[in-house]
Amino acid sequence: MTARDIARQLGRRGGRARAKRLSPERKQEIASLGGVSRADSLRAARRIADNFRYAAATKVLRGTPSTMRRVKVVNGVLPGLYPHRR
């Protein structure tokens, strides 16, 4: 028997002893807290995944940046911004 096996056996004994000591209401409260923590963790993972999908979608929609020409003086409308007006 290894030290790890001995520690496992002692942990089981301690867990069972604690379970006997706790009231049914306290056991239910502890289990409920565990469920809430798992649900929060899943919600956070879902939000992170949604954020990554959103970032990927905005990158695709952004496309390649357009090149702008610097003009010192413009008479009329800005070039390239209003193609239907000339």
Give tens-digit pLDDT for 35-86: 999 999 999 999 999 999 999 999 888 887 777 777 677 677 666 666 665 5
User: When comparing pLDDT for 33 and 72, which is higher?
Assistant: 33
Residue 80: partners with Cβ closer than 8 Å, 6 or more residues away: 68, 69
**pTM score, whole prediction:** 0.50
The residue range of the domain holding 32 is: 6-60
Domain count, the chain: 1
Write down the pLDDT at residue 44: 96
Compute the distance between CA of residue 86 and CA of residue 78 in angstroms, rounded to an integer: 10
In a domain, 25, yes or no: yes
Asked, for residue 65, whether it belongs to a domain, the answer is no
Domain contains 21: yes
